[in-house]
Structure 1
Amino acid sequence: MAAKIRVTWPDGAICGICFTTALRTRGSCPCCGEERLLPGRTTDGTDICRDCAGITTNMTCEDCGSETERFRAGRCIRCVLRTDLEGLLHPHTPPDLSLKRLIGVLAAAGRPESVYTWMRGANTKDLLTGLGTRTIALTHESFDALPASRSVEYLRELLVHHGMLPDRDRQLAAFEQWLAVRIHDLAKTPHIQAPIERFARWHHLKRLRQMASPGKSLNTAVRSAKQEITETGKFLAWLHAEHGLTIHGLRQAHLNQYLSEGPSTRYAIRTFIVWLIKNKEIARLEIPHRYAATKPLITQQQRIELIRQCIESNEAPLTFRVAALILLLFGQPIGKIAALKCADLQALPEGLHLGLGNIPVLVPAQIAPMFWEHLHHRPNQQTGNGGSQWLFPGTLPGQHIHADAMMGQLRALGVDLGGARNTALRSLVEELPPTLVANALGYSYQVIHKHAADAGTPMAGYAGKGALPR
């Protein structure tokens, strides 16, 4: 199980792992004072430069002359990466400034070894070759025509992030593609396809396009739209199978029967029914809203214990402990936490503030250092995703972490997401005016007043209360 010896230096035999670590250690040599690579060590373990350590191993790239590990044929990883990318992308024949820029971005990545591994993958290599032969154009339409894969989306978002493809709302584009497939699959049932297509295009797609704006997440809206379209399709299929009717023959009795005989997800057809009535396609019918029978809650003691664990435990990644604290302290939806930007953290004279609504809220001084540490060491920025605007960057360049991924990580920390959110909000409205809570946390007044009512806090008790706890 012993590590294989790579070289022997004055301070002893060096294994491969230690050799690589040594050739990535830089700083000011305490012996000669020069700023350079520090692969050697003194007897007390202090890192020193090659010359002062008496190391004779060649550590100079034959191409760029930098002092670093020689990756292949006497050349460093960045020079090798640049040469291999030029061989795939052919940026000079004919000249293409975007492809030249792509090579520069990849070769300058914080972790070029990971880029090298990525570009050698079969799917990625084919994509890069297609760009090099110009059979794949630098357009969204060209990428949309390719078989869907993680490699295609990663390269697309890399190009968007660095300005080589125009920006577009990724969630909206994915919904448009999903809708096209959905409508195509209903071609054999025109009595279902026609109303679904009208509803999806003239209500949901129109609404999503109006909502789309730079930096705004459509994740929740897209999820809701997909569910309503899917449930509407099931309802129309049931209406035809059970009663031999199209939507124009719908009556209140049919609607009551459908809602009473199935799961609560059937209430998702409400938007469709309201839309039909509004457009005078059917007579006015009554369809109630669906309300959750109960709201999940955790105890205040459980909430405090989770906060304590997030602060004191180092077992979980800092990124997700910070996200959990935002949930536990400020009752924020996971989708909103995932889409927070670095600019939402503000250093003000009173301390670190987080922008969640109209009024920045003060991050408690005990945990502010955790937020600063996370901000300055955010993950997923070493392979082309540098300079991300997101507080929680995702693995796709230019994108924040997906809400589902964050949910999974927070559940792994033992956090009941719905219970933690509801308990945090209930705790806040018991101490502060609901209007202030709504403004500070970005909630509607109706939602916060509903939490206040559930908490049983008398409205008179809010007079004279202060700001959010500091």
Structure 2
Amino acid sequence: MHRRIGGQWHCRNCVAKFRALPCSRCGVVREPAIRDEHGQPLCPYCLIIDPANQEACRSCGRHRPVSVRTPDGPLCATCRPTKTMTCAICGRQTPCVISKTTGQPWCRACTKRWARCSSCDEAGPIYGGTRAEPLCGACTRPDTSFWRACPTCGHTGRVHQSGPCARCTLDQRLQELLRDNTGQTRPELQPLHRNLLTVEQPATVLVWLGKNTAASLVRELATGSRPLTHAALDELADTKPLRHLRSVLVATGALPARDEHLARLERWITRTIAERPDPDQQQLLHRYAVWHVLRRLRRRLGDTHASYHQAAGAQQHVKAAAILLDWLAAHNLTLVTTTQGDLEAWLADEETTHHSAAGNFVRWASKQKLTNLDFPTVRWSGPSVVIDTETRWDHARQLLHDDTLKPEDRVAGLLVLLYTQWPATISRLTLDHVDAAEHEVRIRLGHEPVILPEPLATLVRQVVATRRGHATIGDHGSSPWLFPGGQPGRPISAYRLGQRLHQLGIRPGQARSTALFQLATDLPAALLARMLGIHIDVAVAWQRASSGDWANYAAHVSRRIDP
């Protein structure tokens, strides 16, 4: 018993509940830790984060609550020294603390780790076991009296916290945000509520909803002050939090899916045209950007979505046209009055940029009879990078046999090194592109599937079985992508995939050129196009560059005289 109240003894928890008052700062009903200068109660959390109670950490210099004082000065919780020991879970020699559950050391990374328990198959925080066979709290220590139970749902598994568990707290927070003025949740937002409430790590959603941007937007959508449409979200600044919220809404079915790269390109073109001061330039740029660049991109895409590089390439063409028009306006010129010498002067000007991309605009204007300028194209004469076959095979052998590397990185790297695929193409592969039969694995990169040899086939099977992106909100493992990304329902970006390959020492552009150069030497162009998904003109150009022109070989054979 802790203290006598009203003539009866009460435990510490009941005393805290009896003394609970709304905090004057955060509003949480909790036992006050102290009262401020006005006599108002402050909860322990607000007392700790009060700037008056924080000091500059001697190590990192940040103003934070003092965790420990040393002869040299105060240290925060992050910089507080911990003893280096062998973690009982991951086995690393690293700073560790002693676990109250097992009495053994565990590192900071393992204290925050979530995984699926190898014993009960439940996903949650890991308290014991090993990295290969993790165990949840209940399986690590079956003694139910050791764990604190949630007063709302009765779930056990916590050592310190005595209030509602993270999932119950999340449910309450979602109800506060998603209910409209009538106290009901809109039907189109109910899947969002269910999806967020059933994520494996509810604490992650709580942190996300704790950010003002996400919470305020969700509240606006719930109350109807902002319509739940893509157009309404497009009115806001295109920030990362907004992109993530949009992807969550799309993944949960609250918003229909759309081509985000193409939509952002269209908005950028609209803004760029509207910023032109000259109405004639606005009309000209609109004709070029909308009716030529965008139209050609849509025709090329068909039913697929644009990649980042495709949208960026179209944006560069429009930007180059705007730069050239600005230069002409600064020199009191138009497309009609500009001479070839003026164009050559612009190309020779070192202060101007986007010279190559502007050629597409000049050729379009000439075709539309808007100018007499001539801007010839440059024919591709072969690869400009070094064709290093030995390095290519060294990387391939490493990816095939180094089991310490991630399977998804090994598969992506081998698709570049052996099958000449761009990271943008690899990132957009789905499960439908892979046919994992009992005795063989096929992958469809072009019109015809390719049979994968071992051990690449085994690696692809492993990626299909264990694929998992970094998105913990709005994605319950139902992603169709072979390489899921950080946003729910989206694949890994080509840029991020390229970064991961760079970390392995693979330069995707150079590696692809080397592979394509060698394959074009050995295979006919038609076969390359069908199997690898490249255009027939590209295959023919590479075949000629590699001196493996099968058409010349066929003509030579036809001219032979039989003995």
Distance 1:82 1:54, change over 3 A: closer
Question: Going by fraction, where is strand more abundant, 1 or 2?
Answer: 2
2:543 pairs with 1:455: no
What 5-or-longer segments of structure 2 have no aligned partner? 1-81, 84-95, 555-563
Distance 1:396 1:302, change over 3 A: same
Larger radius of gyration: 2
Per the TM alignment, residue 63 of structure 1 is displaced from its structure 2 partner at its CA by 3.3
Per the TM alignment, residue 461 of structure 1 is displaced from its structure 2 partner at its CA by 8.8
Q: Distance in 2 between matches of 1:341 and 1:198?
A: 36
Structure 2 letter corresponding to 1:27: S
Asked if the contact 2:226–2:232 (Cα under 8 Å) also holds between the matched residues in 1, the reply is yes
Distance 1:72 1:212, change over 3 A: farther
Aligned to 1:88: 177
Aligned to 1:246: 334
Aligned to 2:238: 148
Asked if the contact 1:300–1:423 (Cα under 8 Å) also holds between the matched residues in 2, the reply is yes
Find 1:222's aligned residue among 303, 311, 321.
311
Aligned to 2:267: 177
2:425 pairs with 1:332: no
Q: Distance in 1 between matches of 2:300 and 2:160?
A: 49
Structure 1 letter corresponding to 2:335: I
2:25 pairs with 1:25: no
Per the TM alignment, residue 246 of structure 1 is displaced from its structure 2 partner at its CA by 0.6
Per the TM alignment, residue 211 of structure 1 is displaced from its structure 2 partner at its CA by 4.7
Structure 2 letter corresponding to 1:154: H
1:80-120 Cα shifts (integer Å, max 9, x gaps): 21111111221662441222221110111133222222111
Q: CA RMSD in A?
A: 3.5
Aligned to 1:103: 193
Tell me whether 369-378 or 51-60 shows the greater mean CA deviation. Answer: 51-60
Structure 2 letter corresponding to 1:130: E
1:179-212 Cα shifts (integer Å, max 9, x gaps): 122123222x445433222211221233344455
Aligned to 2:369: 280
User: Scaled by the length of structure 2, what TM-score is found?
Assistant: 0.71
Q: Distance in 1 between matches of 2:364 and 2:503?
A: 40
Per the TM alignment, residue 383 of structure 1 is displaced from its structure 2 partner at its CA by 2.4
Question: Going by fraction, where is helix more abundant, 1 or 2?
Answer: 1
Q: Distance in 1 between matches of 2:216 and 2:338?
A: 52
2:497 pairs with 1:406: yes
Asked if the contact 2:127–2:140 (Cα under 8 Å) also holds between the matched residues in 1, the reply is no
Distance 1:424 1:377, change over 3 A: same
Q: Distance in 2 between matches of 1:23 and 1:458?
A: 54
Asked if the contact 2:420–2:515 (Cα under 8 Å) also holds between the matched residues in 1, the reply is yes
Distance 1:445 1:148, change over 3 A: closer
Distance 1:124 1:316, change over 3 A: farther
Q: Distance in 2 between matches of 1:96 and 1:224?
A: 40
What 5-or-longer segments of structure 1 have no aligned partner? 30-35, 464-470
Aligned to 1:164: 254
1:268-312 Cα shifts (integer Å, max 9, x gaps): 2232223223333234x4321134675213411100111122233
Asked if the contact 2:178–2:185 (Cα under 8 Å) also holds between the matched residues in 1, the reply is no
Residues 385-400 of structure 1: matches in 2 within 5 Å? 385-386=475-476, 387-400=478-491
Structure 2 letter corresponding to 1:441: L
1:357-397 Cα shifts (integer Å, max 9, x gaps): 01111222112222222222222243222311111222122
Q: Distance in 2 between matches of 1:333 and 1:339?
A: 10
Partner SS, residue 146 of structure 2:
coil
Partner SS, residue 435 of structure 2:
strand
2:533 pairs with 1:445: no
Structure 1 letter corresponding to 2:117: T
Structure 2 letter corresponding to 1:412: Q
Asked if the contact 2:446–2:533 (Cα under 8 Å) also holds between the matched residues in 1, the reply is yes
Partner SS, residue 442 of structure 2:
strand
Find 1:384's aligned residue among 474, 480, 484.
474
Residues 34-49 of structure 1: matches in 2 within 5 Å? none
Find 2:213's aligned residue among 120, 123, 127.
123
Per the TM alignment, residue 462 of structure 1 is displaced from its structure 2 partner at its CA by 7.2
Large movers: runs of 4+ above 6 Å: 13-24, 36-41, 45-48, 460-463
Find 2:514's aligned residue among 413, 416, 423.
423
Equivalenced residues, count: 451
Q: Distance in 2 between matches of 1:364 and 1:5?
A: 47
Tell me whether 247-256 or 426-435 shows the greater mean CA deviation. Answer: 247-256
Percent identity, aligned pairs only, is 28
2:521 pairs with 1:433: no
Higher relative CO (CA 8 A, sep ≥ 6), structure 1 or 2?
1
Asked if the contact 2:262–2:306 (Cα under 8 Å) also holds between the matched residues in 1, the reply is no
Find 1:132's aligned residue among 222, 232, 235.
222
Asked if the contact 2:147–2:157 (Cα under 8 Å) also holds between the matched residues in 1, the reply is no
Tell me whether 270-279 or 313-322 shows the greater mean CA deviation. Answer: 313-322
Distance 1:217 1:229, change over 3 A: closer
Tell me whether 453-462 or 433-442 shows the greater mean CA deviation. Answer: 453-462
Structure 1 letter corresponding to 2:166: I
Per the TM alignment, residue 408 of structure 1 is displaced from its structure 2 partner at its CA by 2.1
Aligned to 1:32: none
Distance 1:308 1:59, change over 3 A: farther
Aligned to 1:33: none
Asked if the contact 1:23–1:68 (Cα under 8 Å) also holds between the matched residues in 2, the reply is no
Q: Distance in 2 between matches of 1:254 and 1:40?
A: 74
Find 2:276's aligned residue among 179, 186, 194.
186
